[in-house]
Structure 1
Amino acid sequence: MIIDLPSTTTSQLNRKIVEIRERGGAVALGRVLTLVIAAEDDEQLEASIDAANEASREHPSRVIVVAKGARTAAPRIDGQIRVGGDAGASDVIVLRLYGPLANQGRSAVVPLLLPDTPIVTWWPGRAPAAPAGDQLGQLAQRRITDSAAQSNPIRAIRGRSRTYSEGDTDLAWTRLTNWRAQLVSALDLPPFEPVTSASVTGEADSPSTELLAGWLAEYLRVPVRRVKTTEAEGIVSVSLDRPSGPIELYRPDGRTGTLTQPTQPPRRVGLQRRTTRDCLIEELRNLDPDEVYEAALRGLGKLSPGRSRRGKGTPGDGESGTSAGAPSGGRTTTTTKRR
């Protein structure tokens, strides 16, 4: 059910939600958080609501979407309430702010927040340079950005390393979960040798590649090279050098990777690019500060550039590696727009 309330106020929106609940019990009551979404346009607004609705089946929540209307218009708020099948396991409130109110998102959101629950702010598109200093970011315990959605993804993720505050995270990092799990598990297999160097190869403007390299550099404490390629989108390969031979994880098609290492037969592993829905669900599971993400951001300053690759190639061509065990340092360069 979708209810439009043009030229409304936050008080009228609150009263309408209570009325809906009392009349039909359609609004979810077991909500565990408030998710504030800063949307830029209608396409992004609908896509982010769809992802939030799917995530709400695991994390019932109140979703407040803040969209900016024409700044030259008279000040007003156009509201919309979505419940039932149009809101997953949440209730969704859409606020479109016009005129001078377009810059007053915090004032419009505060009266609609759920009491005594955590607040998460998500920018699915363009995000402020310092999320913790933004008026919507100041409300939140957790602030989610997506560097891959910025006009310059690499500049954006490196900017996050300068403005990081506890509670910040980025979906470019969340997309790496499967890569990190495969690399750590490979280091748990014989031969148990230290990693001496590493390299990460990926698309030139892939922030996930950068973060994967930074993570290896920070935790492996070895030289890591970031190699740019036009071979495929996102991350293409990771090589961890050890005395007996490298561990190589190679994914040329964005779906399936091949893991090779000395004394072990090659293994095919699933490395499908993760959806926004899956990444959002993961981020909402744990609202504590992400210290590993913070460390990966620190590692960006330790990367060294590798020789760029064009076209097809084998995992180790034109690259040198770093050592890995359970990440602990190193220098690497990465690029992955969609991971």
Structure 2
Amino acid sequence: MIVELPETTTSKVSKALVKIREEGGAVALGRVLTLVISTALGEEEEAIEAANDASREHPMRVIVLSADRDAGDSRLDAQIRVGGDAGASEVIVLRAHGEVASDEEGLVTGLLLPDAPVVVWWPGAHPLDPGDSALGAIATRRITDAAATARPLESLAAIARSYRPGDTDFAWTRLTLWRAQLAAVLDQPPYQPVERIEVRGSDDSPSTELLAAWLQLQLDVDVELQLVDHEEGSSGIHRVVLHRAAGPIVLERIQPKVARLEQPEQPRHDISLPRRSLRDCLAEELRRLDPDDLFGEVVQKGLDRLGIAAASES
């Protein structure tokens, strides 16, 4: 069910939610958190679809705020989605125009679930300092996506400079399968130390930089980071080579969903290593509402050791 509320206020939206509950049953009960999605006007649907899918694992209230601050007229149009149009959540879409769009915190505060954690997600462009923004200040977790911005590597450097506990980025979430596979390989004989590492990926891939920083931080060895033109090859991470005395371990993506693992004196294996969807990334981040200390260490210390933060600023 979709209820349209043109030229409205947050107070009227709240009353409409109460009416929907009274008429249709306990629609909003059992929600464990509020997810606030801040996106550009007209770009809401992909994020809503991901949130609806993730809500089957994390029942929640979703507040989508899209704004056009340059609009001549000042008004708020809203939409409430429940039932089949909202997955296992309830979705409130707020489209703010003109002056009313400048008060982001005021627009969402009255619609937050009481006594429930607040997570803010910017699917595209995000504030330079998410934790100091109007929405970020009220959130337990703040999720950005450097890869979805116009300049991904510069965006990652900005995130590193402004990091606060509770911040995370989908560029890090997309590494989960890579990190798990590499950790599993190193947990097998011959247990030799890694002497040198090569990480190769596209020059628009913040995940490649984060993977290199994580490996250098965890293994305390030199990492050669190779960034190639994304227009000449596939985007994202291409290959990781771990050099040991017995020979190199190579993990290379050969298809969008398949990677090839080569190890000394072992048969070559093709393993599943799919690119993660928005739904997968969002669901994983919503499983933890405490700060991701490892992400904080990687962006604050690991990137700096690789010289990435300084290079991105210059």
TM-score by length of 1: 0.87
Deviations along 1:72-113, one digit per CA (max 9) or x if unpaired, are 433221111111111111111111112211111110100000
Aligned to 2:243: 241
State the one-letter code of the partner of 2:294.
Answer: V
Deviations along 1:161-219, one digit per CA (max 9) or x if unpaired, are 11100000001110111000000000011111111111100011111101101111111
Contact 2:254 2:260 in 1 (8 A): no
- The Cα RMSD (Å) is 1.5
Deviations along 1:35-61, one digit per CA (max 9) or x if unpaired, are 00001131x201100110000000000
Once the two structures are overlaid, the 10-residue window that deviates more, 101-110 or 18-27, is 18-27
Aligned to 1:79: 78
By how many angstroms is 1:159 displaced? 1.5
In 1, Cα distance between the equivalents of 2:240 and 2:307?
15
In 2, Cα distance between the equivalents of 1:167 and 1:152?
23
Once the two structures are overlaid, the 10-residue window that deviates more, 5-14 or 226-235, is 226-235
Aligned to 2:281: 279
Aligned to 2:154: 155
By how many angstroms is 1:300 displaced? 1.3
Structure 1 residue 23 and structure 2 residue 23: aligned?
Answer: yes
Where 1:8 maps in the other structure, the secondary structure is coil
Contact 1:26 1:84 in 2 (8 A): no
In 2, Cα distance between the equivalents of 1:168 and 1:266?
38
In 2, Cα distance between the equivalents of 1:203 and 1:26?
48
Where 1:71 maps in the other structure, the secondary structure is coil
State the one-letter code of the partner of 2:208.
Answer: T
Q: Which runs of 4+ in 1 moved over 4 A?
A: none
The 5-angstrom pairing of residues 2-17 of structure 1 reads: 2-17=2-17
In 2, Cα distance between the equivalents of 1:233 and 1:74?
41
Aligned to 2:187: 188
Aligned to 1:308: none
Where 1:264 maps in the other structure, the secondary structure is coil
Give me the identity figure in percent.
Answer: 52
Aligned to 2:270: 268
By how many angstroms is 1:7 displaced? 1.2
Aligned to 1:37: 37
Deviations along 1:264-306, one digit per CA (max 9) or x if unpaired, are 322211111010001000000011111111122121122279x
Among candidates 300, 303, 308, match of residue 303 of structure 2: 300
Aligned to 1:122: 121
Where 2:267 maps in the other structure, the secondary structure is strand
In 2, Cα distance between the equivalents of 1:66 and 1:233?
30
In 1, Cα distance between the equivalents of 2:76 and 2:10?
8
State the one-letter code of the partner of 1:223.
Answer: D
The 5-angstrom pairing of residues 26-105 of structure 1 reads: 27-42=27-42, 44-69=43-68, 71-105=70-104
Deviations along 1:289-337, one digit per CA (max 9) or x if unpaired, are 11111122121122279xxxxxxxxxxxxxxxxxxxxxxxxxxx9xxxx
Among candidates 250, 253, 269, match of residue 251 of structure 1: 253
In 1, Cα distance between the equivalents of 2:289 and 2:256?
29
By how many angstroms is 1:252 displaced? 2.8
In 1, Cα distance between the equivalents of 2:260 and 2:215?
19
Contact 2:76 2:97 in 1 (8 A): yes
Where 1:283 maps in the other structure, the secondary structure is helix
Once the two structures are overlaid, the 10-residue window that deviates more, 114-123 or 238-247, is 238-247
Contact 1:214 1:296 in 2 (8 A): yes
Deviations along 1:118-162, one digit per CA (max 9) or x if unpaired, are 000000010111110110111100000000011110111111111
Aligned to 1:315: none
Where 1:128 maps in the other structure, the secondary structure is coil
Aligned to 1:289: 291
Where 1:202 maps in the other structure, the secondary structure is strand
TM-score by length of 2: 0.94
State the one-letter code of the partner of 1:38.
Answer: S
State the one-letter code of the partner of 1:34.
Answer: T
Give the paired residue count.
Answer: 305
In 1, Cα distance between the equivalents of 2:212 and 2:93?
38
Contact 1:225 1:304 in 2 (8 A): no
In 2, Cα distance between the equivalents of 1:74 and 1:231?
45
State the one-letter code of the partner of 1:18.
Answer: V
Aligned to 2:216: 217
